[in-house]
Amino acid sequence: MSDNVPTKDQLTIEDARSVLIQPYITEKTFNMIEKENKLIFIVGERSTKQLIREAMSVLYDADVMDINTSRTVRGKKAAVKFKDPNGARDLATTLGLV
């Protein structure tokens, strides 16, 4: 992703993959999938909540209800909560995480 922040019309699959780097799965995050309908992703350091929302739409065609971000030793993480009651479980299954 360049220094210019892409707008919604400009977000390509390549840009979306630089926003959502990879899913982050631990025992705790696996429980979040089941109980809270949330999936955790490692995201780019300059990713905003709006960019994360758009990247989820571009890559996975997923409707997102809420996004919480945090910076950790492993990098910036985003907890994505889905509108669909089984959204996190369905996406995790599609990605081969469960």
CA-to-CA dists, residue 30 to 10, 15, 17, 26, 59, angstroms: 33, 27, 22, 6, 21
pTM of the model: 0.86
93 vs 62: CA distance, rounded Å:
14
Residue 10 has a pLDDT of: 72
If one looks up domain 8-94 in CATH, what number appears? 3.30.70.330
Residue 11 has a pLDDT of: 87
Q: What is the pLDDT of residues 26-56, one digit of tens each?
A: 999 999 999 999 999 999 999 999 999 999 9
Mean pLDDT of all residues belonging to the chain: 91
39 vs 31: CA distance, rounded Å:
10
Q: What's the DSSP call for residue 98?
A: -
Domain ranges for the chain: 8-94
Residue 29 has a pLDDT of: 95
